[in-house]
Chain A
Amino acid sequence: DGGITQSPKYLFRKEGQNVTLSCEQNLNHDAMYWYRQDPGQGLRLIYYSQIVNDFQKGDIAEGYSVSREKKESFPLTVTSAQKNPTAFYLCASMGWRGGTYEQYFGPGTRLTVT
């Protein structure tokens, strides 16, 4: 997956628990993104970060939180306030290398909350 990893691949949690999804990249990309994918709805942007220590809400940020303390890492916390957290979560990074645009997605984390 081009130097971007997500863990774990599958995650099961009980309702009311917070859970943190990991995303790490070794591509030296400045920008990192979190998307949620649900059947029939495509990818929806949760949060994104263009530089370290800065991040912006996406279209569906409610119930989620992020941090960007290091360039390589962009963890996503799904809080108990998220009404429908069961979904496939995808992390992506984006940047330019030698004048060529690069973007890679991680393999995803499938979260199931019961």
Chain B
Amino acid sequence: QKEVEQDPGPLSVPEGAIVSLNCTYSNSAFQYFMWYRQYSRKGPELLMYTYSSGNKEDGRFTAQVDKSSKYISLFIRDSQPSDSATYLCAMRNISNFGNEKLTFGTGTRLTIIP
């Protein structure tokens, strides 16, 4: 079983819809949770970063963490064609000083249909 599971999609939704992207994880030592957006043939871009259970909002994006269920989500409101990309979740723990490895999900490919 992978430490981080993410549905690879592809996911297609009409413009203006609310998008929900999800990851589950098995390692309870994960303390920090990230969402990245990656356009085709580009490096990932950090969108959201959270370290506690609950919601964090940034513009049209909301990151949600439920540590008790080991489940994280990214919501995109009023989705735009420019949101079409692959979205990756990532997690990290600090098991000892300086050890800050990230574990990534496989990514979900999202297409927003105009």
Chain A interface residues (CB < 8 Å from chain B): 1, 6, 31, 33, 35, 40-45, 48, 50-51, 56, 58, 90, 92, 94, 101-108, 110
Closest A-B pairs by Cβ, 6 of them: A105-B43, A42-B106, A43-B104, A50-B98, A42-B104, A105-B44
Chain B interface residues (CB < 8 Å from chain A): 6, 8, 34, 36, 41-46, 49, 88, 90, 98-102, 104-107
Closest to B98 in A: A50
Residues of A contacting B43 in the complex (Cβ-Cβ under 8 angstroms):
1, 6, 90, 92, 105-108
Closest to A88 in B: B41
Give me 16 other A-B pairs in contact (C-beta within 8 A), A40-B8, A41-B106, A90-B44 excluded. A33-B102, A43-B44, A43-B88, A51-B98, A56-B99, A90-B43, A92-B43, A101-B49, A102-B46, A103-B46, A105-B36, A105-B44, A105-B45, A107-B42, A108-B42, A108-B43
Structural contact, A50 and B104, CB atoms closer than 8 A: no
Among A33, A42, A51, residue most surrounded by chain B Cβ atoms (within 10 Å): A42
Residues of B contacting A1 in the complex (Cβ-Cβ under 8 angstroms):
43
Give min CB distance, A36 to chain B, whole Å: 11
Q: Given A108-B41, A108-B42, do A94 and B101 touch, yes or no (CB 8 Å)?
A: no
Residues of B contacting A33 in the complex (Cβ-Cβ under 8 angstroms):
102
Structural contact, A42 and B44, CB atoms closer than 8 A: no
Residues of B contacting A90 in the complex (Cβ-Cβ under 8 angstroms):
43-44
Residues of A contacting B6 in the complex (Cβ-Cβ under 8 angstroms):
42
A90 to B102 alpha-carbon distance, docked (Å): 13
Give min CB distance, B44 to chain A, whole Å: 5
A108 to B38 alpha-carbon distance, docked (Å): 11
A96 to B98 alpha-carbon distance, docked (Å): 13
Residues of B contacting A108 in the complex (Cβ-Cβ under 8 angstroms):
41-43
